[in-house]
Amino acid sequence: MEHEFIRSSSLPKPLGPYSPGVAFERLILVSGQGGTSADTGKVVGPDVASQTEQCLKNIQTILQAAGSDLQRVLRCGVFLMDMNEFGEMNRVYERMFGENRPARTTVQVAGLPGTGLRVEIDCVAYR
Protein backbone atom coordinates (compact mmCIF):
# COMPACT_ATOMS: atom_id res chain seq x y z
CA MET A 1 0.00 0.00 0.00
CA GLU A 2 1.32 3.40 -0.97
CA HIS A 3 0.12 6.92 -0.38
CA GLU A 4 -0.63 9.38 -3.16
CA PHE A 5 0.17 13.09 -3.26
CA ILE A 6 -2.83 15.20 -4.30
CA ARG A 7 -2.13 18.30 -6.37
CA SER A 8 -4.16 20.63 -8.54
CA SER A 9 -3.20 23.47 -10.86
CA SER A 10 -6.29 25.24 -9.49
CA LEU A 11 -4.61 25.81 -6.11
CA PRO A 12 -2.19 28.37 -4.73
CA LYS A 13 1.37 27.04 -4.55
CA PRO A 14 2.29 25.65 -1.10
CA LEU A 15 4.48 27.95 0.98
CA GLY A 16 6.78 25.10 1.99
CA PRO A 17 7.90 21.53 1.33
CA TYR A 18 4.53 19.83 1.74
CA SER A 19 1.65 18.51 -0.36
CA PRO A 20 -1.78 20.17 -0.38
CA GLY A 21 -3.26 16.72 0.22
CA VAL A 22 -2.22 13.12 0.72
CA ALA A 23 -4.44 10.10 0.12
CA PHE A 24 -3.98 6.64 1.60
CA GLU A 25 -6.52 4.06 0.54
CA ARG A 26 -9.87 5.82 1.19
CA LEU A 27 -8.47 8.43 3.60
CA ILE A 28 -7.54 11.98 2.47
CA LEU A 29 -5.58 14.37 4.65
CA VAL A 30 -5.67 18.01 3.52
CA SER A 31 -2.98 20.44 4.65
CA GLY A 32 -4.02 23.74 6.16
CA GLN A 33 -5.45 26.07 3.53
CA GLY A 34 -5.51 29.84 3.79
CA GLY A 35 -7.80 32.27 2.02
CA THR A 36 -5.45 32.68 -0.93
CA SER A 37 -6.69 32.72 -4.51
CA ALA A 38 -4.93 30.45 -7.01
CA ASP A 39 -5.61 33.04 -9.72
CA THR A 40 -3.87 35.94 -8.02
CA GLY A 41 -1.72 34.28 -5.35
CA LYS A 42 -3.09 36.90 -2.95
CA VAL A 43 -5.37 36.77 0.08
CA VAL A 44 -8.96 37.24 -1.18
CA GLY A 45 -9.95 39.95 1.30
CA PRO A 46 -9.18 41.42 4.69
CA ASP A 47 -12.19 39.83 6.45
CA VAL A 48 -12.49 36.38 7.95
CA ALA A 49 -15.73 35.59 6.05
CA SER A 50 -14.24 35.94 2.56
CA GLN A 51 -11.09 34.14 3.67
CA THR A 52 -13.06 31.26 5.22
CA GLU A 53 -14.98 30.78 1.99
CA GLN A 54 -11.74 30.71 0.00
CA CYS A 55 -10.14 28.27 2.48
CA LEU A 56 -13.06 25.88 1.99
CA LYS A 57 -13.03 26.34 -1.80
CA ASN A 58 -9.32 25.43 -1.78
CA ILE A 59 -10.08 22.38 0.37
CA GLN A 60 -12.91 21.41 -1.97
CA THR A 61 -10.55 21.63 -4.96
CA ILE A 62 -8.07 19.28 -3.27
CA LEU A 63 -10.81 16.87 -2.26
CA GLN A 64 -12.30 16.80 -5.75
CA ALA A 65 -8.84 16.15 -7.24
CA ALA A 66 -8.67 13.14 -4.89
CA GLY A 67 -12.17 11.89 -5.78
CA SER A 68 -14.02 13.31 -2.77
CA ASP A 69 -15.89 16.47 -1.71
CA LEU A 70 -16.87 18.57 1.33
CA GLN A 71 -19.73 16.18 2.11
CA ARG A 72 -17.15 13.48 2.94
CA VAL A 73 -15.13 15.54 5.42
CA LEU A 74 -14.87 13.82 8.80
CA ARG A 75 -12.88 16.38 10.78
CA CYS A 76 -11.60 19.96 10.46
CA GLY A 77 -9.09 22.05 12.33
CA VAL A 78 -9.79 25.80 12.22
CA PHE A 79 -7.07 28.26 13.17
CA LEU A 80 -8.23 31.85 13.76
CA MET A 81 -6.12 34.92 14.35
CA ASP A 82 -8.90 36.36 16.54
CA MET A 83 -11.49 34.25 18.36
CA ASN A 84 -13.82 37.27 18.23
CA GLU A 85 -14.25 36.39 14.53
CA PHE A 86 -15.58 32.92 15.37
CA GLY A 87 -19.23 33.76 14.60
CA GLU A 88 -18.41 35.26 11.20
CA MET A 89 -16.23 32.24 10.30
CA ASN A 90 -18.85 29.81 11.61
CA ARG A 91 -21.65 31.25 9.43
CA VAL A 92 -19.61 30.72 6.25
CA TYR A 93 -18.44 27.28 7.45
CA GLU A 94 -22.04 26.18 8.07
CA ARG A 95 -23.18 27.41 4.65
CA MET A 96 -20.31 25.71 2.81
CA PHE A 97 -20.74 22.36 4.56
CA GLY A 98 -24.54 22.28 4.34
CA GLU A 99 -25.91 19.28 6.22
CA ASN A 100 -22.47 17.73 6.82
CA ARG A 101 -21.26 18.39 10.36
CA PRO A 102 -17.61 17.26 10.63
CA ALA A 103 -15.94 17.00 14.01
CA ARG A 104 -14.02 20.21 14.56
CA THR A 105 -11.46 21.96 16.73
CA THR A 106 -11.19 25.76 16.57
CA VAL A 107 -8.30 27.61 18.20
CA GLN A 108 -6.87 31.10 18.22
CA VAL A 109 -3.27 31.31 17.02
CA ALA A 110 -0.52 33.90 17.35
CA GLY A 111 0.21 33.97 13.63
CA LEU A 112 -0.41 32.34 10.25
CA PRO A 113 2.01 31.95 7.32
CA GLY A 114 1.03 34.75 4.96
CA THR A 115 0.50 38.48 5.23
CA GLY A 116 -3.10 39.33 6.08
CA LEU A 117 -4.33 35.78 6.73
CA ARG A 118 -7.13 35.65 9.32
CA VAL A 119 -7.97 31.91 9.13
CA GLU A 120 -6.52 28.56 8.06
CA ILE A 121 -8.43 25.27 7.84
CA ASP A 122 -7.25 21.68 7.45
CA CYS A 123 -9.29 18.49 7.23
CA VAL A 124 -9.52 14.72 7.05
CA ALA A 125 -11.96 13.19 4.56
CA TYR A 126 -12.60 9.94 2.74
CA ARG A 127 -13.30 8.82 -0.80
pLDDT in tens, 91-112: 999 999 999 999 999 999 999 9
Would you state the torsion angle of the CA atoms of residues 78, 81, 83, 89, taken in this order, to the nearest 10 degrees? -50
To the nearest 5 percent, what fractions of the chain are helix, strand and coil? 30, 30, 40
- Identity of the residue numbered 115: T
Condensed to tens digits (0 to 9), the pLDDT of residues 107-116 reads: 999 999 889 9
Q: What is the CATH number of domain 4-126?
A: 3.30.1330.40
List the domain boundaries for the chain.
Answer: 4-126
Distance, C-alpha 63 to centroid of its chain: 10
The structure's pTM equals 0.95
